[in-house]
Structure formats: C-alpha cells, structure tokens
C-alpha cells in the first residue's frame, strides 16, 4: 500500500487545545481507518513541524480524503509527501533504466 509522510503544524486553535492532542491523534487514526487508510505512527516533534504522521492508504484519493478530514477540524495544517519504500524504488529505477 502506498505510504505518505505528513508534516503537521498546529493552528492557533490546535495550540490552545494542546492537552487534547493524544485524543485528537486517536480520532485521526480512527477516521483514517474508516476510509481504508492506516495511521502507522504519529510523532510529536520539535522544530519547524509540530507533528509527523506516517500513513498508508490504498491510493492518493483515500490519503487526501483522510488528510482533508483532519485539516477540516481546524487544529492542524498539513503538508503531505508520497514516500517510496525500497522495493518500490527498485521498480522505479528498473523502469527508468529500461
């Protein structure tokens, strides 16, 4: 299943409710599961991003729907990167080299 790395920043609303962040992370994971995606890990970070989530979804549309839902609540803004594992990269290189 495709993997997505999502970089999240709290909005002003999200910072004000920092005490609820573990419960919000659980709600995000549950909502993603209902859509057919899986939140593999969520990390709270120090630096330019407040959180990093690693998500698997069957396709870009499912991943986007899950991230629109989490962003729509108003606590975070997201930037999402499609990540490729070793086997996927091997196939990409094979295609590129003919």
Q: What is the percent of the chain with per-residue pLDDT over 70, rounded to a whole number?
A: 100
Q: Taking residues 27-50, report their average pLDDT.
A: 98
Residue 67 tokens read as 């991230």
Domain ranges, residue 57: 3-97
| CATH number of the domain residue 55 falls in | 3.30.70.920
Query: pLDDT tens-digit profile of 49-63?
Result: 999 999 999 999 999
User: What's the number of domains the chain is made of?
Assistant: 1
pLDDT of residue 68 exceeding 90:
yes
- E-strand ranges in 1-98 read 3-10, 38-44, 51-56, 76-83
User: What pTM did the predictor assign?
Assistant: 0.92
Q: Which residue's structure tokens are 């295609």?
A: 95
pLDDT of residue 98 exceeding 90:
no
């Amino acid at each position: 299943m495709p993997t997505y790395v999502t970089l999240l920043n709290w909005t002003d609303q999200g910072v004000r409710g920092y005490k609820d962040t573990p419960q919000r992370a659980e709600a995000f994971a549950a909502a993603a599961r209902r859509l057919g995606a899986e939140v593999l890990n969520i990390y709270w970070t120090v630096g330019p991003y407040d959180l990093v989530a690693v998500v698997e979804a069957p396709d870009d549309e499912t991943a986007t729907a899950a991230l629109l839902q989490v962003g729509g609540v108003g606590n975070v803004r997201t930037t999402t990167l499609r990540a490729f594992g070793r086997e996927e990269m091997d196939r990409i290189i094979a295609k590129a080299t003919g």
